[in-house]
Amino acid sequence: MPVATAQQTPAAKSTNTAGAAHTMKALRKLRAEPGLWYVPDAPIPHVGPRDVLIAVTHAGICGTDRHIYEWDAWSQSRIPVGITTGHEFVGKVVGAGSAVQRIQVGQRVSGEGHIGCGVCQPCRTGRAHICEKVDIIGIDRDGCFAQYLSLPEENCWPVDPKIPDAIAAIFDPLGNAMHTVMAAGVSGRSVLITGVGIIGLMAVTVARAAGAGTIVVSDMDDRRLELAKKLGADLSLRGDDENFHDKVRAATQGQGPEVLLEMSGSARAIRQGFAALRNGGTVAMLGLPSKPVELDLNNDIIFKGATVLGINGRLMYETWFQVENFVLSGRLKLDPIITHQLPLEDFERGFKLMQSGEAIKVVLKMPQA
């Protein structure tokens, strides 16, 4: 396990409001190469007047964290070396800045990792998730793979006590799925979900609970296709099925799906999904392709009269209300998605389980302070 000391890290000017402790355990990106480093004595983050300090108890590993771990091209262009990673979490508020008004020490909170500038048009109109200057925890500033996290109070989401920690820790990705499903509008409509990775699988159970008609999913991983059916999909298809379009049409009133939820980021799946879409249909795009994608705009969008929605993050905070209400309704199947819960120190194993496809969602448990 790679270990490093706080002296190597760039965020040393913190203010300690976490009781007697002066340092904490954290996973940091200490070098511009694959891997994350377990730092036993990272500084506890600074808490500004409007921030709270959260003692993180559980944190989910996101596909984005895996990109950072593997140090792909995107990570190299975006991630500041030295940062504490992680952005999905639940924990307990243990400190509060002088101007904090709405969150109390002692509350259990999850939180929104997108921190908007607060002055631009999106931020001022309930759409801070598309702020041009957004800072994201674990990506642009220190995140939640650590014993402590500093977060503006308005980014905190107090979690209903009836919701288990492991679920509360993944409100962020569940929010991605929720935002995608609700933006597209699936109630009574046939749906194709291209790509059933973590968020695609969540989208299956969310779409089913949200009143979707027929749900078809596609992927190249048979295990996930199988799991998707357990979560509510009516039909699971391999992306390379040679009768893909005929089978999709047969399942969707002979006309193709009214809604496409694109969650693969695969150019092939994107084109396949657009081609399958019914005239007048809606596409919600969440999956991130690794490079530009060639689209037949005439046949896929223009003649079809399609509506295409770019989906980023979660609505702040409409999506959070939806996530909490759906979870409390008991109509979501999330347990089959959270396949592993591991102590922070076993993070290497967590990433390897994700890489092998053995795990779906891995939740890390923080050491007690």
Annotated catalytic sites, by residue?
64, 67
By CB under 8 A, what part of segment 56-115 binds a second copy? 97-99, 101-102
By CB under 8 A, what part of segment 30-49 binds a second copy? 49
Q: What is residue 334's DSSP assignment? A: -
Q: Other CB atoms closer than 10 Å to residue 255's CB: what's the count?
A: 15
Binding residues for a second copy, total number by CB under 8 A: 72
Burial of 136 (0-12, 13-18, 19+ CB in 10 A): middle
Return the residue matching tokens 């909170």.
109
- Using the rule CB under 8 A, which residue among 106, 292, 356, 368 binds a second copy? 292
Q: How far is the CB of 170 from a second copy (least distance, A)?
A: 18
By CB under 8 A, what part of segment 193-212 binds a second copy? 209-212
- Using the rule CB under 8 A, which residue among 36, 186, 196, 362 binds a second copy? 186
Give strand pairing partners of 55.
92, 148
- Using the rule CB under 8 A, which residue among 37, 148, 317, 351 binds a second copy? 317
Lookup: tokens for 315 = 């609505």
Tell me the window of 118-126, 192-200, 216-224, 240-248 that interacts with a second copy (CB under 8 A).
Answer: 118-126
Lookup: tokens for 251 = 């399942």
User: Do strands 361-365 and 51-60 pair parallel, antiparallel, or not at all (unpaired)?
Assistant: antiparallel
- Cβ nearer to a second copy, comparing 304 with 365: 304
Which SS3 state, helix, strand or coil, does residue 369 take? coil
- Cβ nearer to a second copy, comparing 20 with 292: 292
Gap between the Cα atoms of 70 and 62, Å rounded: 13
By CB under 8 A, what part of segment 252-271 binds a second copy? 253, 255, 270
- Cβ nearer to a second copy, comparing 231 with 306: 306
Q: Other CB atoms closer than 10 Å to residue 19's CB: what's the count?
A: 12
What's the angle, vertex CA 300, arms to CA 193 and CA 232, rounded to 5? 15
- Using the rule CB under 8 A, which residue among 162, 303, 343, 367 binds a second copy? 303
Q: How far is the CB of 20 from a second copy (least distance, A)?
A: 26
Q: How far is the CB of 179 from a second copy (least distance, A)?
A: 10
297 binds a second copy (CB under 8 A): yes
Gap between the Cα atoms of 254 and 290, Å rounded: 33
- Cβ nearer to a second copy, comparing 117 with 166: 117
User: Do strands 148-152 and 114-115 pair parallel, antiparallel, or not at all (unpaired)?
Assistant: unpaired
Q: How far is the CB of 321 from a second copy (least distance, A)?
A: 6
Q: How far is the CB of 344 from a second copy (least distance, A)?
A: 30
- The two most distant CA atoms of the chain are separated, in Å, by 66
- Using the rule CB under 8 A, which residue among 35, 46, 92, 120 binds a second copy? 120
- Using the rule CB under 8 A, which residue among 31, 46, 50, 352 binds a second copy? 50
Gap between the Cα atoms of 288 and 197, Å rounded: 12
Lookup: tokens for 63 = 């596909």
- Using the rule CB under 8 A, which residue among 35, 63, 164, 185 binds a second copy? 185
Q: How far is the CB of 365 from a second copy (least distance, A)?
A: 29
Residues 58 and 170 sit within 8 Å (Cβ to Cβ): no
- Using the rule CB under 8 A, which residue among 40, 63, 164, 289 binds a second copy? 289
Lookup: tokens for 300 = 């896929």
Q: End-to-end alpha-carbon separation of the chain, Å? A: 20
Q: How far is the CB of 223 from a second copy (least distance, A)?
A: 27
